[in-house]
């Protein structure tokens, strides 16, 4: 039995060589195949068994064709056609099953096999009309599948570019959204700084009236008065870029404003020695306005630093830090000069 198995294997290999040799277009009869089997070492009995096996494949293959089970039909009928390359029906049905399986699973290789078995069918039986009809159907399916594949490729390409375009649009919109967010945060710091300058300017505008009022007091300390005048001139001479205040500029500005606050504190302290000055309504009104201004500067400094903190936190956070916005400096003053001494009249 093992010898017969080896001989059958040799026989099948020989058949495959003959069937897939493009130059071998000779039509084999059953006798030719039997001779090949005997040369391969098969016994007469084994040859008959091989034919019976082939008939079994053919019978089962027909049943699967009738049931539309193309996967099973292709497997059975291809085995039958391989064992019986001289059998027109086996080759035809193998071609039919392979064509349907190829169409079902979109396998072009099955179309090639179906075409091969159709050619063998027509070589064995040139008048096999069903083979011609099947060949026409096969060519039509190949053409339609080719068109569908081309369309599918175009669709995939279009979808790919649509996805790429969508991603690019999201990135662009995301960039502009982040950029606009940073611009808005920067504008908040600019507006907050403008308010800081406004309240300090309001205080500076009160100083001339205060000086004129104090000048009316007899024997008032001229040194203290001159110190206030000089400090005001120095404070109003410093300019800070509102859109981008740097640390050095803010420090200089704070120092000048602190100096003015200090000189005003001394002036108000000295004014306690002049009851007649303190009794004037104009002086009391200026005193109250200065105290209100000092409270306002404390609030606006706090708001500015909060705006800077919000801006810096966003500017340092990924992916905002890729936009190139530089962190901003905070504004701080000497706490000792942040309150005007309260004078009781």
Report the share of the chain in percent with pLDDT over 90: 24
Nearest CA to 280 out of 212, 178, 191 is that of 212
Nearest CA to 18 out of 116, 98, 163, 148 is that of 116
Kindly give, in sequence order, each residue whose CB lies less than 8 Å from that of residue 25, ignoring residues fewer than 6 positions away.
123
Say if CB 233 and CB 205 are below 8 A apart.
Answer: no
pLDDT for the residue 342:
42
State which residues form the domain around 266: 184-337
- Residue 157 falls inside a structural domain: no
pLDDT for the residue 335:
54
pTM, two decimals, is 0.54
pLDDT for the residue 254:
87
Indicate the SS3 state at residue 39.
Answer: helix
pLDDT for the residue 278:
74
pLDDT digits (tens, 9 = 90+) for 32-47: 777 777 777 777 787 7
- Structure tokens belonging to residue 19: 């069937």
pLDDT for the residue 112:
92
108 and 198 housed in the same domain: no
pLDDT digits (tens, 9 = 90+) for 154-193: 888 899 999 999 999 998 998 889 889 889 988 898 898 8
pLDDT for the residue 22:
45
331 and 192 housed in the same domain: yes
Number of separate domains in the chain: 2
- Residue 138 falls inside a structural domain: no
Looking up tokens 């404003």 gives 257
CATH number at residue 282: 1.20.1440.20
Nearest CA to 71 out of 97, 89, 53 is that of 97
pLDDT for the residue 343:
38
Instruction: State which of 78, 98, 127 marks the end of a domain.
Output: 127
- Residue 239 falls inside a structural domain: yes
- Residue 19 falls inside a structural domain: yes
φ/ψ (deg, to 5) at 333: -125, 175
208 and 329 housed in the same domain: yes
pLDDT for the residue 277:
77
pLDDT for the residue 17:
66
How many of the other CB atoms lie within 10 Å of CB of 234? 16
23 and 105 housed in the same domain: yes
197 and 321 housed in the same domain: yes
CATH number at residue 81: 1.25.40.10
- Residue 42 falls inside a structural domain: yes
326 and 190 housed in the same domain: yes
26 and 108 housed in the same domain: yes
324 and 193 housed in the same domain: yes
**Per-10-residue mean pLDDT for the chain, 345 residues long?**
59 65 56 74 77 90 94 93 86 94 90 91 90 92 84 87 91 89 89 89 87 75 85 87 78 88 87 78 83 88 90 87 86 58 38
- Residue 145 falls inside a structural domain: no
Say if CB 93 and CB 62 are below 8 A apart.
Answer: yes
């Amino acid at each position: 039995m093992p010898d017969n198995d080896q001989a059958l294997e040799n026989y099948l290999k020989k058949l495959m060589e003959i069937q897939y040799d493009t130059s071998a277009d000779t039509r084999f009869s059953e006798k030719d195949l039997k001779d090949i089997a005997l040369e391969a070492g098969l016994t007469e009995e084994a040859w008959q068994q091989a034919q019976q096996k082939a008939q079994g494949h053919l019978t089962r293959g027909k049943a699967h064709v009738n049931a539309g089970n193309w996967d099973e039909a292709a497997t059975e009928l291809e085995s039958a056609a391989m064992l019986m390359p001289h059998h027109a029906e086996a080759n035809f049905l193998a071609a039919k099953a392979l064509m349907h399986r190829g169409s079902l699973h979109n396998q072009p290789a099955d179309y090639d096999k179906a075409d091969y078995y159709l050619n063998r069918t027509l070589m064995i039986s040139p008048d096999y009309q069903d083979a011609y009809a099947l060949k026409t159907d096969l060519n039509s399916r190949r053409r339609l599948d080719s068109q569908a594949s081309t369309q599918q490729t175009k669709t995939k390409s279009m979808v790919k570019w649509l996805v790429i375009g969508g991603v690019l649009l999201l990135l662009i919109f995301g960039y502009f959204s982040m950029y606009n967010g940073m611009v808005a945060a920067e504008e908040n710091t600019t507006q907050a700084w403008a308010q800081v300058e406004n309240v300090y300017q309001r205080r500076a505008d009160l100083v001339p009236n205060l000086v004129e009022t104090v000048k009316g007091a007899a024997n008032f300390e001229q040194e203290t008065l001159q110190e206030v005048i000089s400090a005001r001139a120095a404070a109003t001479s410093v300019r800070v870029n509102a859109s981008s205040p740097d640390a050095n500029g803010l420090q200089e500005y704070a120092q000048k404003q602190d100096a003015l606050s200090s000189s005003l504190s001394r002036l108000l302290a000295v004014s306690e020695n002049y009851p007649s000055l303190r009794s004037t309504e104009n002086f009391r009104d200026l005193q109250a306005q200065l105290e209100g201004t000092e409270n306002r500067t404390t609030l606006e400094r706090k708001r500015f630093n909060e705006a800077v903190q919000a801006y810096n936190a966003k500017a340092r956070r990924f992916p905002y830090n890729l936009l190139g916005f530089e962190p901003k400096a905070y504004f701080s003053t000497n706490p000792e000069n942040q309150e005007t001494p309260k004078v009781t009249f």
